[in-house]
Structures are given as structure tokens and as C-alpha cells.
């Protein structure tokens, strides 16, 4: 946490709207609440749990690039990939919500040189991704979401 405010991390992110509460309010308001999070756009995406077989919905910052949506599997720089990324590796078919727009999509991991180009775009939108990368030895995946 940062300074005197327990709701602000060392990267400056306000964490008062996170996880299930973020998903709930985004869904209830078609993104009127929750689309912009700390100044960056977010979307909701639903994967199928690779172990449970149950749908799992997550909010995440995204960067629009052409007709694609780019998301970063950073997990704040943790040593392991986020569970949602492992789910996408198992089953790349996902459902996405951007504001009121809901659609089916496919997710794939970007490879070089596309990965580096998309990473550069993503850090313009959320510079903390570079901080997260410095915290871990793993190469943080860049995921491209494409409408079906």
C-alpha cells in the first residue's frame, strides 16, 4: 500500500473496486461503473476453469489495437501466471463484455515480434506493467482477444 491511503498500491492503483465487486457492478451497469479503472479501460472476460469446468469472469485492463483487445497476464508481477491465463491456454474460447457490448471471442498468446509491439502499446495505457515485469523472472504473456 502507499502512503496514508490503504486503498492505493505502490504503483498508484486505487483498489477500492476489485475482483467480484468489480465484475458485479460492471455487469449491473453495462460498464457505466467499472469500465474506467484508475483511468484505464477495462473489460470483463469469462473463461472456463480448466479444473472445475465452471465459468470464471475477471475484470482486466485492456488496450485496443485495431479491432483487437490486448490484455496482459501480469498478476502484478507474481512468479506464476494468473489462473485465467492457464484457463485460456487450455480453452481459448472466451466471452467478453466491453461496456454493454457482449461477444464471443478467441484468446491467443502473442509471440515475437508481435508481443513486443503490443507490450509497447499496453504500457502506454498502464505503465505499471513494466514494474510488474521487473518483479518476476517469467516473461509476462501478452494476450490478444479477437472477436469470432
Model confidence over 21-73: pLDDT tens digits?
Answer: 999 999 999 999 899 988 899 999 999 999 999 999 999 999 999 999 999 99
- Asked if the structure places residue 9 within a domain, the reply is no
- Asked if the structure places residue 2 within a domain, the reply is no
Q: How many whole angstroms separate alpha carbon 107 and alpha carbon 117?
A: 17
**CATH number for 114:** 2.30.110.10
**Mean predicted confidence (pLDDT) in 79-89:** 98
Stronger pLDDT, 1 or 7, i.e. the higher one: 7
Predicted pLDDT of residue 137: 98
The answer to whether the pTM exceeds 0.85 is yes
**Mean predicted confidence (pLDDT) in 123-134:** 97
Domain that holds residue 98: 19-147
- Asked if the structure places residue 6 within a domain, the reply is no
CB atoms within 10 A of CB 118: 20
pLDDT at 17 over 90: no
- Asked if the structure places residue 13 within a domain, the reply is no
- Asked if the structure places residue 101 within a domain, the reply is yes
The total domain count for the chain is: 1
| Average pLDDT of the residues of the chain | 92
Banded model confidence at residue 15, pLDDT cuts 50, 70, 90: low
- Asked if 73 contacts 129 with a C-beta cutoff of 8 angstroms, the reply is no
pLDDT at 3 over 50: no
Amino acid at each position: 500500500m502507499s502512503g496514508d491511503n490503504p486503498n492505493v498500491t505502490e504503483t498508484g492503483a486505487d483498489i477500492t473496486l476489485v475482483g467480484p465487486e468489480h465484475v458485479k457492478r460492471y455487469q449491473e451497469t453495462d460498464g457505466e461503473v467499472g469500465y474506467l479503472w484508475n483511468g484505464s479501460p477495462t473489460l470483463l472476460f469469462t473463461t472456463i476453469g480448466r479444473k472445475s469446468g465452471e465459468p470464471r469472469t475477471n475484470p482486466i485492463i485492456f488496450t485496443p489495437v485495431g479491432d483487437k483487445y490486448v490484455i496482459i497476464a501480469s498478476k502484478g508481477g507474481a512468479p506464476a501466471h494468473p489462473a485465467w491465463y492457464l484457463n485460456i491456454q487450455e480453452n481459448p474460447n472466451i466471452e467478453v463484455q466491453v461496456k454493454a457490448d457482449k461477444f464471443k471471442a478467441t484468446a491467443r498468446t502473442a509471440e515475437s515480434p508481435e508481443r513486443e509491439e503490443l507490450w509497447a502499446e499496453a504500457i502506454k495505457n498502464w505503465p505499471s506493467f513494466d514494474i510488474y515485469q521487473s518483479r518476476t523472472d517469467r516473461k509476462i504473456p501478452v494476450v490478444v482477444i479477437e472477436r469470432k
